[in-house]
Structure 1
Amino acid sequence: MKKILCLLALFLTLSCNNSFIELRPVDTVSTDVLYQTEGDFTDAVIGVYNVFISQYKNMYLFGDVRADDSYDETVKFIASYVDLFTINNDESLLSNTWNNYYSIIYRANLILAEIEDKDVSAVPNKDRHIGEAKFLRALAYFDLVRIFGNVPMITKPITIEESFQARREDVANVYSQVIIPDLLDAESKLPAQYPSADVGRATQGAAKALLGKVYLTIHDFQQAETKLMEVTKMGYALLPDYNELFRYVNEHHSEYIFDIEYEEGGIGLGNNFTNDFTPKDPRLLEFYGVTGPGNDINSPPRHLFDLFPPGDLRKDITVADGFVNENGDFIPIIPSGNNSSTFTKKYLIPTKVSGDSPANWKVIRYADVLLMLAEALNENGKADEAIPYLNQVRERAGLEGYSNLGQDELRELIYLERRLELSFEGHRWFDLVRTGRAFEVMEPYGMKAHMWVFPVPLSQVQVVNDPSIFPQNPGYD
């Protein structure tokens, strides 16, 4: 899959502008020419993945920096505005995010419209293309509603004139009318696995796992239990060594379910995670072979260090304040000026070019599934059945398993385990929101009650200029 994306990147140029939700009118002549063969639809689907490559370079800002287990107060720019709940509705992060997701939706809608009447003799993988397009559209809408709340629900190509009348739809309707149906259809059409050249595409397991997360998010714990239990029977398994997840040698292993795929090579398919999440200390950069500067973003606070119990094998790679050199000496990171002294090693790998890291972003992996299943079982009054799934994750981390826990105690322990297992993978903020704890936890950091969603981009509000159709989120006017 990475090789395919690299080839496509040589020909595909992504563009963004300020037009409303990035929806263009369908040109029947051009689309009739472009969408005919198996290869045409293969390329079109890869084009949808490609926008995710751009969008997920900033997912840490929404999922990590916004929450309490990451901070960025060393410099005043977008990460600190997100961290301190001072982001304005005219920030480019918001407009770029909006445009990226609606570009994904536009492309997926066009594929689905064009492929509908194609015969399988011309497009042998028709079902798979439909499944991928729907999976990717569902993921885009899932992210959109978690970031912005109510959003326009567009499920077919529309004209620019029609787009100006697209209302912000209630979140519940987006879930029930798009996200869940798309994922149900995707899981019925996607393969369980791919030949090696296509590894990295969405699979049946990815659709089931994401659907389980969707059900958990909307508190349909029974459906979440059912769907996540199905994932446990598909051959996934935890890697024996937690650290192996972050060595980025073989990223498509038994714990892999779905990543956003990145590749180094100087053609725009790498990311800045390694540079962004590394301190500015030149000794550290040289020791790990990181080309370019460190940017001191997404730093762990001291309270996260303290949450890890003695013997937890995840601690060293998750949170650090120094490194052990080739002589076995511990070299602490000493902050100077506004520089941070703490960092995560989860994306710390050698890079040949600054801002061109090949580290994938893990959208969902098997440990996440196990912890979600434990949570769903516990909420369904099955604490004894939930504990073994939680213990699989703990025991891989070198910790003793739990036993004989009541529902309330187990709930808090599952929440804690998600923090320890999934830190800096974009989950903490969304976990706080979906469990109703965001304001309680984040008020001391500057959160106000309305800030469980981000402001809608000001440019989108202005271009419609009709609050009855497209209002700003409360509190952000």
Structure 2
Amino acid sequence: MKLNNTIFYLLLGTCLAFGTTSCSDYLDTEPITDRAIELSDTPYKTAAEAEDLMKTLYNGLGSEYWQLDYFFNGDAQSDVAYVGGDNPQNIQQAEYRIMATNNNVNRDWNYLYGLINDCNKILNYVDNVPDPALTASRKAQMKAEAATMRALYYFHAVQLWGDIPLVTKAVIGVTSETFDEVYAQVYPARKPVSDVYALILSDLEGALPALPGNADKFKVTKGAALALLAQVHATKPVPDYAKVVEYTDQLMGQGYSLLPNYDHLFDGNHTANAESIFEINGNGGSIWWWGVFMFTGDDWKKFNTPSNDLVKAFNDEGDTVRKTSSVKFQAVGWADSYWPSSNYPFAWKQRDTTGNQNIYILRYADLLLLRAEAKVRLGDYTGAAALVNQVRNRAGLGNINISGLEDGINKILHERKLELAFEGQRWFDLKRTGKALEILKNRKDGNGNILSFAGNLTQQRLLWPIPQSQIDNNPNLTQNPGY
């Protein structure tokens, strides 16, 4: 095959794999000839171009992955919510019978790798921007923010699919000399989970020195990297709970605190607050938050219908504070086997229908409970209970005691369920703690009957299939077992 044809297929593969618009720059030009497309170390020349890359990075937080899929993936696959809407792709997910041809799964693959590609453009090329207006310190901060964001997206991807490709180069062009490198980036093979976590940790640890302080909640900061480091060490195949405690120690010295009033987290009047570590800015930023309409409103049946189990958990605990902020009941024009039309629940943490909704990626209560989980694993039951009680007391609930490992994990999971419902966390919490099969195979309907599809969940289906379209496009990809 001539190099010119190879170039065409490589670039076409990049478009399909990453879904980026930049590929059209090549496909819309003159026909491919024997002239190789030159790979430049300086495709971006000015400080303004570099800053535009950073805008693209943060505008990616307004993608469909964040507006809808992240929350659906984390809640509708768990005991927090039922599927809600009638989309067959979403129903597959919620009923643990995802097919490799599921459009949502392919969409999320494209989103995550597209967002990773945006990070790679900064990491690969910003250092070479010749414009003196882009200072060395600004370049270092840009790269640190991009590395942290890349770590975040790889962290999401590895939890969804397990072994995944590691793409660290944004392909701008190709020559005969760079063919092998470009091929490995455009048609990558899957790497073991351990390699993925190694890259994530390397990105985060390397980013820390150049990250800014925590004043801007809408940008990546030192606090965001510390929080992610704690989450990653708690989740990787061989968790390091001492590291979780170490990084949450540092996080606790960064000036964060719980808001006294739980509902102020979600009422739209207290954005960028003391509890926020990293937040998507739909209020005055460049992102219009349409995702609210996916979860609330009586014009059609919305996604993430609160489960009977969640509502019962709030009621049994006497937790009216968090229930009121998390679930809204109203009359609607439909009914199902879970709820009557006269009193139908909606997820209520997203409620601003003006497009100005703000969304937490990381908040302090989550990390306090993760720290408690690590302390339980390390045998500090008294210290763990004290952390849980901080979160409970804010909700007006009394203290708990923790008597042992199993008791502690169960109580912390229960607390995380009440505290973090509809924040995209539950599915990943259950997988991290090894409780997914035990809890989710016992999901129930409104009459206390185990859901008919609960038995579909197996250990293999705790991971998603690699999208079939990606396998069709990339001969180096293999499928997860069971699909």
| 1: CA distance, partners of 2:124 / 2:43 | 14
Provide the residue aligned with 1:8 in structure 2: none
What does the per-residue CA deviation read over 1:117-171, in whole Å, with 9 as the maximum and x for residues that have no partner?
4589542212210111101110110011111111111122346633354110011
Whether the 8 Å CA contact 1:212–1:228 is kept in 2: the answer is yes
5+ residue gaps, structure 2: 1-12, 27-35, 175-181, 443-453
Deviations along 1:222-271, one digit per CA (max 9) or x if unpaired, are 11110111101110000010001111223101000012333589x8x323
Change (3 A) 1:406 1:336: closer
**Secondary structure of the corresponding residue to residue 273 of structure 1:** helix
Aligned counterpart, 2:479: 472
Indicate whether 1:248 and 2:272 are aligned: no
Tell whether the 8 Å contact from 1:135 to 1:186 is kept in structure 2 after alignment. yes
The percentage of counterpart residues that share the same residue type is: 30
The change in CA–CA distance for 1:92 and 1:76 in structure 2 (over 3 A counts) is closer
- 1:46 matched to 2:55: yes
Instruction: Give the equivalent residue in structure 2 for 1:143.
Output: 156
Aligned to 1:287: none
- Taking a change above 3 Å as real, the CA distance of residues 90 and 401 of structure 1, as seen in their structure-2 partners, is same
What SS does the aligned partner of 1:168 have? coil
Q: Deviations over 1:391-418 (max 9, x none)?
A: 1100000011224633332221111100
Q: 2:288 aligns with which of 266, 270, 280?
A: 270
Match in the other structure for 2:414: 416
Q: Is the 8 A contact 1:299 1:344 kept in 2?
A: yes
**Contact 1:276–1:294 (CA under 8 A) maintained in structure 2:** no
Aligned equivalents of 1:53, 1:321: Cα separation in 2: 28
Shift of 1:35: 3.9
TM-score, length of structure 1 as denominator length: 0.82
Query: Who is 1:296 aligned against?
Result: 302
Aligned-partner residue type, residue 185 of structure 2 = S
Aligned to 2:328, the other structure's residue is in SS state coil
CA positional deviation for 1:312: 4.1
Q: Is residue 225 from structure 1 mapped to residue 245 from structure 2 by the alignment?
A: yes
Measure the CA separation in 1 of the matches of 2:112 and 2:319: 41
Correspondent of 1:459 among 469, 472, 481: 469
Of residues 194, 204, 214 in structure 2, which corresponds to 1:193?
Answer: 214
Deviates more, 1:78-87 or 1:18-27: 18-27
Structure 1 distance, partners of 2:408, 2:185, is: 47
What's the counterpart of residue 113 of structure 1?
124
Q: Which residue of 2 aligns with 1:307?
A: 313
CA distance in 2: counterparts of 1:168 and 1:450, whole angstroms: 17
- What is the 5 A alignment of 1:316-327? 316-322=324-330
Aligned length: 426
Look up the equivalent residue of 2:161 and give its one-letter code: F
The amino acid that maps onto 1:191 is P
Aligned to 1:320, the other structure's residue is in SS state: strand
Distance 2:223 2:131 in 1: 24
Q: Aligned AA for 1:68?
A: D
Is residue 170 of structure 2 the alignment partner of residue 157 of structure 1?
yes
Say which of 4, 19, 38 aligns to 2:16: 19
The 1:62/1:336 distance shift into structure 2, 3 A limit, reads: closer
Query: C-alpha separation between the residues in 2 aligned to 1:420 and 1:311?
Result: 8
Change over 3 Å in CA distance of 1:67–1:18 after alignment to 2: farther
> 1:134 — aligned with what?
147
CA–CA distance in structure 2, aligned partners of residues 111 and 431 of structure 1:
32
| Alpha-carbon distance in structure 2 between the residues aligned to 1:28 and 1:413 | 58
Q: 1:22 to 1:297 in 2, by over 3 A?
A: closer
Is the 8 Å Cα contact of residues 228 and 373 (structure 1) preserved in structure 2? yes
Residue 201 of structure 1 aligns to a residue whose secondary structure is coil
Deviation of 1:388 after TM superposition, in Å, equals: 1.6
Residue 326 of structure 1: aligned partner: none
Q: Distance in 2 between matches of 1:73 and 1:403?
A: 36
CA distances 1:157-195 after superposition (whole Å, capped 9, x unpaired):
34663335411001111101x10011111222111134x
Give the residue type in structure 1 aligned to 2:308: R
2:468 corresponds to which letter in structure 1? L
SS at the partner of 1:259? strand
Separation in 2 of the partners of 1:142 and 1:28? 33
Select 1:104's aligned residue among 103, 111, 115.
Answer: 115
Equivalent residue letter for 1:132: E
| Distance of 1:244 and 1:270 partners within structure 2 | 21
Alpha-carbon separation, structure 2, partners of 1:93 and 1:216: 27
Give the C-alpha shift of residue 368 in structure 1: 0.4
Match of 1:259 in 2: 279
* TM-score of the superposed pair, with normalisation by structure 2: 0.81
C-alpha separation in 1, matches of 2:75 and 2:37: 40
**Higher mean C-alpha displacement, 56-65 vs 333-342:** 333-342
- The answer as to whether partners of 1:258 and 1:365 remain within 8 angstroms in 2 is yes
Local SS of the residue matching 2:351: coil
Partner of 2:227: 209
Distance in 2 between the 1:304 and 1:449 partners? 24
Which of the residues 93, 97, 115 maps onto 2:104?
A: 93
Native 8 Å contact 1:56 1:361 kept in 2:
no
The answer to whether the 8 A contact 2:163-2:191 is kept is yes
- Go from structure 1 to structure 2 and tell me whether the alpha carbon gap of 1:79 and 1:208 turns closer, same or farther (over 3 Å shift): same
- Label 1:121 to 1:314 Cα distance change in 2 as closer, same or farther (>3 A): same
Distance 2:249 2:334 in 1: 46
Separation in structure 2 between the aligned mates of residue 318 and residue 86 of structure 1, nearest angstrom: 28
CA shift for structure 1 position 278 = 1.9
Asked if structure 1 preserves the Cα contact closer than 8 Å seen for 2:259 and 2:274, the reply is yes
Letter of the structure 2 residue corresponding to residue 97 of structure 1: D
Paired with 1:304 and 1:369, the residues of 2 have a C-alpha distance of 21
SS of structure 2 residue aligned to 1:151: coil
